[in-house]
């Protein structure tokens, strides 16, 4: 009878005994009991057999959970990867379009016979700038119309006689409502060319600037073009917010300028401009200078 009561106690203690949760004294007591009781010993053996199964089952559940977690992570990684790929693809697409337009513009810049006319509008001011090149001759005609009237300036630049010189002999003629003045035979450097605002120094710069740029298909005055914004390099004009670039030539045909607020809170806008290009249309006649006798000659 005593043995039976001990058995009950021992069997109650067995789960803890197996997990090594029982103290030294209890262990001695249990082990003493085993010497006398085959039944309890047998129960212990059975329990031990069961445990690896339970443990394996528990491990299995853990493995399943980890697998599930890993699967979730894999899906997340895949989504991130897809987003990164799309981002890279979109950036490269922009870079390719911009680089293509820039190359076209660079080719056109080699032209030695061209005229570009810029029309720009600002508050109370309308300006037309006509740039012409015929080989080594340049002409710049600026017409400004303001409330005060119209002012026209013509600049003629001819390459210096000296073959090795990069200098030009420059005459300017200015005509306002009141007077006609001229400055003659100035010696200066002249740096005029078609604008390639999409030019970058290298492909890395191109890609980096393409990240922030937007490139959209658009039409401007019936011309197929791209509307490009936020493509800012040292060559682009900082007051230009966006520009319409001709798909065929890579040259800007219109620019949209930033709006600003001056210190007194008045809103304004840098001039928005339109550009017209003509090629192989400039002739020697365009370089016939006005009659100098009509002008007051200004000395430096």
Question: Which DSSP letter does residue 55 get?
Answer: H
| Interface positions, 12-71, toward Zn ion (CB under 5 A) | 37, 40
Report how far apart, in Å, the C-alpha atoms of 226 and of each of 10, 109, 247, 257 are.
87, 19, 7, 16
Min CB(58)–Zn ion separation in Å: 29
Nearer CB in complex with Zn ion: 2/266: 2
Q: How many residues bind Zn ion (CB under 5 A)?
A: 3
Nearer CB in complex with Zn ion: 33/141: 33
d(CA 109, CA 194): 6
Which C-beta is closer to Zn ion: that of 37 or that of 129? 37
- DSSP-derived pairing of the beta strands 180-189 and 214-220: unpaired
CA distance 256 to 244: 8
Q: Shortest approach of Zn ion to residue 11 CB, angstroms?
A: 7
Minimum CB separation of residue 37 from Zn ion in Å reads 3
Nearer to Zn ion, 7 or 256 (CB): 7
245, 239, 189, 183: which is closest to 217 by C-alpha?
Answer: 245
Judged by CB under 5 A, which of 7, 44, 140, 186 binds Zn ion? 7
Query: Chain-centre distance of CA 293, in angstroms?
Result: 55
256 binds Zn ion per the rule CB under 5 A: no
Query: In the complex with Zn ion, which residue's Cβ is closer, 40 or 228?
Result: 40
Distance in angstroms (rounded) separating the CA atoms of residues 33 and 139: 117
Least separation in angstroms between CB 20 and Zn ion: 20
Residue 31 CB, shortest distance to Zn ion, in Å, is 12
Straight-line distance from the first to the last Cα atom of the chain, in angstroms, rounded to the nearest whole number: 133
Interface residues with Zn ion (CB under 5 A) are: 7, 37, 40
């Amino acid at each position: 009878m005593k043995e039976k009561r001990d058995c009950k106690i021992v069997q109650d203690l067995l789960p803890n005994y197996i997990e090594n949760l029982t103290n030294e004294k209890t262990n001695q007591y249990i082990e003493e009991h085993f010497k006398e009781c085959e039944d309890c010993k047998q129960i212990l053996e059975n329990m031990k057999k069961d445990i690896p199964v339970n443990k394996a089952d528990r491990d299995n559940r853990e493995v399943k959970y980890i697998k599930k977690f890993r699967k979730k992570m894999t899906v997340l990684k895949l989504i991130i990867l897809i987003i990164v790929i799309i981002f890279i693809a979109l950036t490269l697409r922009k870079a390719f379009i911009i680089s293509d337009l820039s190359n076209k513009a660079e080719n056109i810049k080699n032209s030695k016979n061209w005229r570009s006319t810029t029309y720009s509008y600002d508050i109370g001011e309308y300006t037309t700038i006509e740039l012409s090149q015929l080989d080594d001759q340049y002409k710049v005609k600026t017409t400004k119309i303001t409330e005060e009237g119209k002012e026209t300036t013509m600049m003629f630049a001819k390459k210096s006689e000296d073959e090795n010189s990069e200098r030009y002999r420059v005459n300017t003629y200015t005509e306002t409502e009141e007077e006609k003045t001229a400055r003659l035979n100035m010696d200066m450097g002249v740096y005029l060319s078609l604008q390639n605002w999409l030019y970058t120094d290298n492909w890395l710069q191109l890609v980096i600037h393409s990240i922030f740029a937007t490139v959209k298909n658009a039409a401007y005055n019936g011309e197929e073009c791209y509307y490009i914004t936020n493509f800012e390099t040292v060559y682009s004009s900082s007051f230009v917010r966006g520009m319409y670039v001709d798909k065929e030539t890579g040259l800007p045909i219109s620019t949209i300028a930033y709006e600003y607020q001056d210190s007194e809170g008045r809103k304004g806008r840098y001039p928005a401009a339109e550009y017209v290009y003509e090629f192989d249309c400039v002739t020697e006649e365009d370089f016939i200078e006005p009659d100098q006798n009509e002008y007051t000659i200004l000395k430096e």
